Amino acid sequence: MSPEIKYALSGDVNIAYEVSGDGPIDLVIVHGWVGTIEGVRDAPGLAQFTQRLTSFARVIQFDKRGTGMSDSVTQAAPVDERMDDLRAVMNAVGSKRAAVMGISEGGVMAALFAASYPERVSALILYGAHAVPPGLRTTEAEWSEYSERVRRNWGSEAEARDILSWLAPSLARDESAIHWAQKFMRLGASPGAEIALTRMNNELDIRQVLPSVHVPTLVLHRAGDRGIPVTYGRYLAEHIPGASFVELEGTDHLPFVGNADAILDEIEEFLTGVRDPLERNRMLSTVMFTDIVGSTERAQELGDRRWRELLNQHNILVRKQLTRFRGVEIDTTGDGFFATFDGPARGIRCALAISDNVQRLGIQVRVGLHTGECELMGNKVGGIAVHIGARVMAHSGANEVLVSSTVKDLVAGSGIKFVERGIHELKGVPEEWHLFAVKR
């Protein structure tokens, strides 16, 4: 269940907040830009990111005034009032002292809060942050052009694609991520609020404050961050006394996109003194997706009752083969299956057996397989490898078992032969992929 949204009164402004987990450490997250805790619930990777944090901390998040579910304001609030909001949330949840994590622009407020109220801050974490913004717009003409674009395009698909190109470039071609970004923008702030906040943030300069930060500090930054260059993170670490700096691989600005575990490992070790020695939430798996060819047309032809009977027979046959080849059923979509295997050759042989057996029912299936690192989420499996497997299947033809080059390379010596199917772009997946059909 999602955490309950509550409100803390800061002056005469209501600040929306939520609390997740009950770990021994309080961790307050100050998000960047115009985020909203309600709007990011279904952000790609965020649920797993927060779940990992709650394994060792009580996680407190809030919407900054003027954004999300917090009260609207007529103008951008100065940073001292925004720090009041952070303190009001801590008071509301009974947190006398907490670790504070500032993400992107949120790092400015987090660092100022740590310098101003060190008795309330046990540790400071800055991710993708800066002391002075990049200053992309410096003249009134540039601001006028930017403001007009925001008012005209805020929440549009085109604007979402543009924002993802630097916020999360690894998701820039993922249609579901683009739709999420549109929702995030609409729920995060109105166009007027976004313009005011962005302009204020573009003028904030805390370089002179950094030497006054005297709490344990960890600065994290991805080397290829397209939102805030890594040089800004290095500057923070060089000018905050005793700060530790960790440069991570990747180009995504959002911490929960890309290799989030590397970030979480550093945070956990910094706050607890140890990092989780077990990679229990990730493992190498072969994923298999199946789909009945022409299912819509066949359902219309047979009618509901006969189609349900046929689907039931199809499901029995598929599950029999999964059991035979030690496959694990993860999900079924009505006319297809998603399963995993502990070996690619076993997955291919299961796919061939399914394809052969269902033809007795007068139907054909298409199958796609890929091997890669998967995230374990209870009884579910996620991660980029799952997306690749689904996209490989989408390129498969009737009665065809299509695999990625990773699968082909891993079954060398098994006697399984392949026919080349060329290089393809997989929707929502970076780079081009070489695909192969299993030769019968």
Instruction: For the chain, list the domains and their CATH numbers.
Output: 6-272 (3.40.50.1820), 282-438 (3.30.70.1230)
User: What's the rounded mean pLDDT across residues 254-277?
Assistant: 88
In the numeric block, which tokens belong to residue 216?
A: 């344990």
Neighbours of 350 (CB within 10 A): 26
Q: Distance between alpha carbon 354 and the CA centroid of its chain, in Å? A: 34
Shortest CA distance to 255 belongs to which of 240, 244, 266?
A: 266
pLDDT recorded at residue 363: 94
pLDDT recorded at residue 440: 84
This prediction has a pTM of: 0.65
User: With bands split at pLDDT 50, 70 and 90, how would you rate the model's confidence at 129?
Assistant: very high
Q: Is 208 buried (19+), middle (13-18) or exposed (0-12) by CB count in 10 A? A: exposed
User: With bands split at pLDDT 50, 70 and 90, how would you rate the model's confidence at 271?
Assistant: very high
CB 265 within 8 A of CB 363: no
User: What's the rounded mean pLDDT across residues 73-94?
Assistant: 84
Q: How far apart are CA 269 and CA 16, in angstroms?
A: 29
Half-sphere exposure of 217 (CA within 13 A, CB side): 30
Q: How far apart are CA 72 and CA 13, in angstroms?
A: 8
Beta-bridged to residue 246, according to DSSP, are 220
Phi/psi at 437 (nearest 5 deg)?
A: -95, 140
Shortest CA distance to 220 belongs to which of 230, 205, 208?
A: 230
Taking only the tens place, the pLDDT of each residue in 388-429 is 999 999 999 999 999 999 999 888 778 899 999 999 988 877
pLDDT recorded at residue 189: 85
The pLDDT of residue 362 is above 60 = yes
> Lowest mean pLDDT: which of 124-138, 245-259, 351-365?
124-138
In the numeric block, which tokens belong to residue 283?
A: 């493992």
pLDDT recorded at residue 278: 47
Taking only the tens place, the pLDDT of each residue in 175-216 is 888 888 888 888 888 888 888 878 777 777 888 889 999 999
pLDDT recorded at residue 309: 92
In the numeric block, which tokens belong to residue 60?
A: 């407190």
Q: How far apart are CA 150 and CA 155, in angstroms?
A: 9
Q: How far apart are CA 116 and CA 109, in angstroms?
A: 10
pLDDT recorded at residue 279: 46
Is pLDDT larger for residue 34 or for residue 335?
335
